[in-house]
Each structure stands twice: as structure tokens, then as C-alpha cells.
Structure 1
Amino acid sequence: MNKSNKLYLKALNKYQSGYIDEAIDICEESISTNMKNRASLNLKGLLYYLKGDIDSANAIWKLNYEVNDDGVSKKYLQSLKEDEKKLTLYANAIGLIKELNIKEALEILMECKESDYNCINVDNAIATCYIKLGKYEKATEYVNKVLKIDKKNDVALRNKKELIKYGIKRKKFENNPKIYRKIITVLVLLLLCFAIGKFGIPAIKKVALPSKNQVDKTEAVQEKKNVAVKKTEPAAKKADEDKKKAEVEKKKAEVFPYEEIKNSLQKSDYNKLHEYVSKWKNANLGINNRTILTQSEEVLKKDGVKYFYTKGKEYLMTSKGYSNAIDNLLKAYLYGKDNYLYEHIIYVLGSCYEGTGDNESAIKYYSEYDNRFSKGSYEAEVLYRLALIYKEVNLEKAKEYASKLINNYPNSQYSNSIIRNIIKK
């Protein structure tokens, strides 16, 4: 079992034990190790969901669905619209409690209980209502519901203290009954079996600094190489020119595949069109040939981008994995500059390269995203990934991205303890 999955199980245990905030922190650590870990992403989203943080839950599930094509996250996202209405109901209920319209507030809160969204705050409010109505046994029931999930919850602990004052015995407050834990364990293990990710992100290797002797030797060797290069430069230049001439002559000898391109356009064969455009775009062509080639390039820009992007994401979900995904995404990138998908293409390319351990290429696309889409939907995630990648190889750059994340997205789930620790180093 890899590190990310071990951390997921640790987070799961913390959640089952009633330590929701600690569970969220461990999920963050798991995801920073492997952003493909669907189970950790879903669990983290669920924990925010229970706490009532709908924006954070939405962002995490959206990420899991778009990057990992996760079906569980998709279902969660579909249910969020109804939950947004419940947030309004909850706010109305709190206003009624302040106005001492307790029974009316309680009716609205029971509507909120139709889903688990914001259940910690809703159950706390229901407990408060029952206390004010003098129904202490019922209030105890809802205090226990909160403490099962969040043992350290301030509101629940205050209500518990008040109920003890009113005569409720301490033994009534059982935070984690065995039957409850068994049910939760079974449910979450089923989720684990269905959703746990299989891909790991290779660790970034530290760069060792060479000794002075090594530097001197390297410089001496390099000097010899420079001399050798200077001697061979004219020959190399001539060989390069001969090669280019041969390529030009070869193209002249080839017949432009007008009918084949026309056929590929009719069939919407984007891969073939890409091959033709790549091969002939710099050739000296007549008007008719240049026209159909330009037409092919326009089709690739209009429809090919979406095709290649979709194929790339499909490959991420199969055993063919990153290599084929990157091949298709690079084609989408080539033609997608003016396409609405460009933001997504750049982000997923960075994610794929990071997944293969090619951090240099990951940095290239993440940095481009940061430069082009500084207000984009993935920006907080991109800054987070850049800070983590740079952490082991260039601490100053890591701090730069970490500070930018904290300053621009202070309330984001990515502005977490891991990022704050980078800044402190």
C-alpha cells in the first residue's frame, strides 16, 4: 500500500473517531502525495460538506471529477444545487432562533435534515432549540450526533455542559457507540473499494550540490569539449544544411495528398488531419493545396481540440495512462489557444507530467497556467502544486508560490498547514 493510501486510511480513522479537523489535515497530506487518490479527495470533500463549507466541497469534488473522471464526485456535485437551498433555510432558522421563534425555527431545521449537508451546524441548532423548549433528552440526542463527528466542537460542548446543569447525566453523552462505528466502517470501506485511486506521484529527488573538486574537473572536461565542438562546428553545420536540402528535395518529389486530406475532412479524422498539417504547413504550396490545408487546420482548431482533450482524459482512466493522454493533450494544446478548453488543457497537461514524475514539464505547464489564467478555476490548485514541486529543489520559489496562494486565496482548502510550513522554512 502506497503512502497516499495509508494516509487516507489514517484520515478515515480520525473521522470515525470524531476528529474531523485532523482528518481534513491528513487528507490534505494524502492528496499532496498523490492527487490521483480519488478516495482522499472524496473524503475531504465529504468532511467539508458535513461542516457546511459548500464552496470547498464543490471545488474538491469538481477537481476529482475533472481530473480523475470520478463517478462518486459527479453524484455529489449533482446534489449540491439542492443543498444550496438548504443553506438558505438554515440561515433563516438561525434568524428565527435569535428572535425566539423556536418552534418555527425547528420546523425549518428539520427540512434541512433531509440531507447530511451542514449536519454539524444543523444538529447544533436543533439541540439549542430543544434546550430552549425544555426537551433535554431530545437535545442530548442531537448533541451526541455532533460529537460523534466532531468531539471538539465548541457549540456541542457548550450545549453538553448546559444539559448536565439541567440534570442530564454525563454517561448519556456517548460520543462513539460501537454500533455506529461498525456501520460507518462498513460504508466507508465500500467507498474505498469503489473509489480508491491507483496512481502514485513519484517523489521529487533532491538535487545534490557538487564539491569544488568536482566543479574543477567538470570545467576542465567542458573546456576540452568546447574545443572539440569548435573544430567540428563547420562540419556539423554543413551536415545540417545538407539534411535540410534533402528534406526539401524529398517534399518536392512527394505529391501533395489533396484527395486524402479531403477524405479525412469528410470523415472528421482529426489524427490524420493533424499529421497532414504538421507535415505540410511549412511547404511551398499552390493556392488550392494551401486552401485545403488551412481548412484542415481550422477544423482542428474548431472541433479537433475538444476531440483530443476528451481522448486525453479518457486515456487517463485506462491502463494506457499518461503517455497516450499526454500525446492527445499536446495536440489539443497545439490548436487550442483560442478555445474555451485551453485553460483545462494546460492544467491537465501539468497534472499528467507531474504524475509521470517529469516535474520539469509539470512546472512548465503549471507556470503557463499561472501566467495566463491567474484568476482561473484551477489557480489555487496550480499554486499549491508549484509550491510542493519546488519545495525540495528551490525553496525560495516554493515560498513565492506558497505566499501567493495564501495572499490570493486565504480561504481556499489549499491554503493549509503544508503551505504555511513552507513559508516558515
Structure 2
Amino acid sequence: MSKSKGIYKKAIKNFQIGKINKSLEQVELAISENMKNSSALNLKGLILYLKGDLKGAELAWKINKDFNDDNLSKSYLKDLNDDRNRKNIYENSLKLIKQMKITEAIEELSICRQSDFNAINVYNALSFCYIKKGDYKAAESCISKVLSIELDNKTAKDNKKILEEYGVIAKREINKKVFLIPIALIIILGIGYGGYKYFPKKISKDKVETAKVVKTPVEKQKEPQIKLSGDTEKTKTKFNSIELQKAIDENRFEDIYNILNNTDEKGLGVNDKSVYEAGKQIISSKGVEYFYNKGREDFKNSDFGKANKDFLKSYKYVENGYLRPHIIYLTGLSYEKNNDYENALKYYEKYVNENETGDYVEEVLYKLSTIYYKIDKQKAKTYASKLVNSYPNSIYNNTTLKQILQ
């Protein structure tokens, strides 16, 4: 955790001085070092939130809520519907600007500025509108707001040059300290400022280099092999329908799973088969969620071995439901945390094969690219190309990915 905290501190410093892209890279690294760094997850959500990436911010806070039971993230997630509406309003304001309906656009953007969601784009648009209307003081204020968040924002710097050329402002640096300190305090203390709301995984190269990965060809669409302590080639035990029925009645999912796993279904009579099917049904419905939640708790406690076993149990019986992609992703992640990169790759590939636009697809494509880079550069390039082509604005399109694609 100390390494993750150290990286997070650097990310905070860069965030404070407006180097948010560098901060985002560092916070991704901090998270990859330790998923329990809730502050890093909150900071990632904030940066994406300010950039207008609502989906990315929501995902960061959901992960923080699920893995760390973070109350701050829970509160952020409750208010996202209003921001979804503001996103639509912002997009409409751009149409109004194109039609040169500047007054109407300002009215729309004034609604958007009630939240810090998409602040960079909103204030850049307002700067343009105020320049068009000749309200240069308001434009300068909006430019200052953008540069206080993102020091090298090209649009804001271009707008500033326009005001300098008009002679409205001297060629000087706009004060960036106005907003930096409050934002920093909000991150650290988790509080609101000025009526607005602030919402405070790059793979470790060293880990990938030192991991002992066996280079094996990965078959197309191959179902990941599930090997649990109870999944052996030993002779199956004699089926006891009374014992299984009692476990079903008492919702003892561990016992139900073990009985099912140690029973040869083919040798069952009609009566026993009906009880066996009832056991499978309750495991497929309630048991899947039970093992999934149990695995998440183990993961939060950094017991990745136990978490992996629970996720595998859940995966064995999960069908096409909302939990399936989460279970596949977390199974791969728990393998990765245990430095079992061979099995992690199998589940990550399973995830991208089943989820073209899933919540974790960008991250998984990045993981596949970086892990494969040490064992199969061509396959690494394939996944890196898919990430770049499908998600050109992804935060994972960084220098590491460029190196892979060379």
C-alpha cells in the first residue's frame, strides 16, 4: 500500500498544478498497485468527471464502492442522473453555437456550469460565447477556470491569445491559484466547494517483467479451464438426496456446491435427479450471487486466492445475466493478482470475446496488450490495435501502448 500511496501523492501534486493528464497516468498506476487505494479511485473519477467522461467516472466510483465499500463514491453515484441530463444539454448547446445562437447557447451552458461535470468543455464553450458577445471579462473568467484545472489546455490558451490580441488583457499568466487550493482540499477532505460538487490501471511494468509466464498458444474462443480444490478426477461420492434437500432448504450454498460437484449426474435415478436439478437451479440463481459477493469480500481483504476460488464457483454456474461479465473480469483479475498470468489471459480473452462494449473492455484490452508484450508481441499488437481503433479517446492510449505498437 505504501508504494501506491507514494504514487498517489505525486498524482495529487500534479493535479494541484493543473497537470491532470500526468496525474491521471499516475493515479492509474497507483490503482494497479493497490485496488484498495480508495483515494486514488476517487481522484481518477474526479479527473474523468471534469473531462466530461461520465462513463469512466461512474466506473471508477462503482469499483470503489464494490471493492472498498467507499461511502464517498456511493454518494457520487446517486447524483449522476442530473449530470446525464447536463450532458445532453451541453451537446445541444454546441448545436446552438454552430447555428450562432449565442445567447441561447449561454443559457444552456449556464445550466451545465451548476455542476463540475464536463467543466473543461463547458467553460471553453462559454469562453467562445462570451468572446462572440464582446463580454471579455466573463470570457477571461471562464478561461481562468479551465487553466486552473488543466494548465496546458489548448482551447483555453487559444482563447486567451484572442483576448491578448484584442488588447483586452496583457500578455501575462492568468492566476491559476484561485481554484487549486480548494480543489486539493476537496480531494483530501471529501467536501463540496462553492455549491458545486467535486468528486475526489496501468499495469506495473516490473510485475510483468518478473512474472513467470508460460508461453502457450491461446485457442480461439476456448472456454477457460476451471480447477478448484473440489474439482478432481477422484471417484464421485455416493449421492445423498436427503442431505442435498436439507442444504437447499437451509440455503447452504457451500454444501450444495460440494454435493453437486462430487456427484456423477449420469448415474442418478429419477427421484435423485429431481433433487439434483433443484440444487443446480438454486446455485444458478442464488448461489452465483452468493459466491460472487463472497469473492468480492475476499478480494477487498487482499485474499486473492480465496477470492479466485469463489469467483470460479460463481463462474461455473453463471448464465447470461448481468453478473456474468463482472465475474469473468474479476476471475481474471484475481488470477493476475496471484501472478498466474496464464489463466488471467484466458479469462481476459473470454471477457473481450463476450463483451465488445463492456464496462471493463478498455482496461482488459490494455491488460492483454501489456501482459502479452512479454511473451507474444504480435498478439500484444493485435489487442493494442483493437484498443486504439475502437477507443481512440481511451485513457489507456498512453506511451506504453505506443511502444507496443511500434
TM-score normalised according to structure 1 size: 0.77
CA distance in 1 between counterparts of 2:139 and 2:321 reads: 55
What's 1:135 paired with?
A: 135
CA distance in 2 between counterparts of 1:54 and 1:282 reads: 48
Are residues 391 and 163 of structure 1, via their aligned partners in 2, closer, same or farther at CA, if it must alter by over 3 Å?
A: same
CA distance in 2 between counterparts of 1:207 and 1:334 reads: 27
What's 2:392 paired with?
A: 410
CA distance in 1 between counterparts of 2:140 and 2:82 reads: 28
What's 2:244 paired with?
A: 261
Find out whether 1:278 has 2:261 as its counterpart: yes
SS at match of 1:15: helix
Q: Which residue type is aligned with residue 175 of structure 1?
A: K
Question: Where does the alignment leave 5 or more consecutive residues of structure 2 unmatched?
Answer: 192-198, 214-232
The number of residues matched between the two structures is 377
Aligned Cα root-mean-square deviation (Å): 3.3
Shift of 1:116: 0.3
CA distance in 2 between counterparts of 1:329 and 1:87 reads: 36
1:186-205 to 2 correspondences below 5 Å: 186-191=185-190, 203-205=207-209
Are residues 260 and 40 of structure 1, via their aligned partners in 2, closer, same or farther at CA, if it must alter by over 3 Å?
A: same
Q: Which residue type is aligned with residue 402 of structure 2?
A: R
CA distance in 1 between counterparts of 2:346 and 2:100 reads: 58
What's 1:302 paired with?
A: 285
What are the Cα deviations for residues 274-293 of structure 1, in whole angstroms up to 9, with x where unaligned? Answer: 12112223574433223212
What are the Cα deviations for residues 67-119 of structure 1, in whole angstroms up to 9, with x where unaligned? Answer: 55544444333323211221232233344445454433323222111100111
Q: Which structure has the larger Rg over C-alpha atoms?
A: 1
Whether contact under 8 Å (1:343, 1:369) holds in the other structure is yes
1:240-389 to 2 correspondences below 5 Å: 251=237, 256-282=239-265, 284-318=267-301, 321-389=303-371
1:13-412 to 2 correspondences below 5 Å: 13-34=13-34, 37-66=37-66, 70-164=70-164, 165-170=166-171, 173-177=174-178, 180-191=179-190, 203-206=207-210, 251=237, 256-282=239-265, 284-318=267-301, 321-412=303-394
Whether contact under 8 Å (1:25, 1:417) holds in the other structure is no
CA distance in 1 between counterparts of 2:326 and 2:249 reads: 28
TM-score normalised according to structure 2 size: 0.80
What's 1:233 paired with?
A: none
Shift of 1:350: 0.6
Q: Which residue type is aligned with residue 117 of structure 2?
A: Y
Are residues 38 and 122 of structure 1, via their aligned partners in 2, closer, same or farther at CA, if it must alter by over 3 Å?
A: same
Higher mean C-alpha displacement, 21-30 vs 119-128 = 21-30
Whether contact under 8 Å (1:68, 1:316) holds in the other structure is no
Higher mean C-alpha displacement, 279-288 vs 78-87 = 279-288
What are the Cα deviations for residues 251-273 of structure 1, in whole angstroms up to 9, with x where unaligned? Answer: 5xx6x533222221111211111
Overall identity of the aligned pairs, in %: 37
CA distance in 2 between counterparts of 1:141 and 1:196 reads: 24
Q: Which residue type is aligned with residue 290 of structure 1?
A: K
Whether contact under 8 Å (2:42, 2:200) holds in the other structure is no
CA distance in 2 between counterparts of 1:86 and 1:375 reads: 23
Question: Where does the alignment leave 5 or more consecutive residues of structure 1 unmatched?
Answer: 210-242
Whether contact under 8 Å (1:383, 1:405) holds in the other structure is yes
Please state which structure has a larger fraction of its residues in helix. 1
CA distance in 2 between counterparts of 1:278 and 1:8 reads: 44
Find out whether 1:420 has 2:402 as its counterpart: yes
Whether contact under 8 Å (2:67, 2:300) holds in the other structure is no
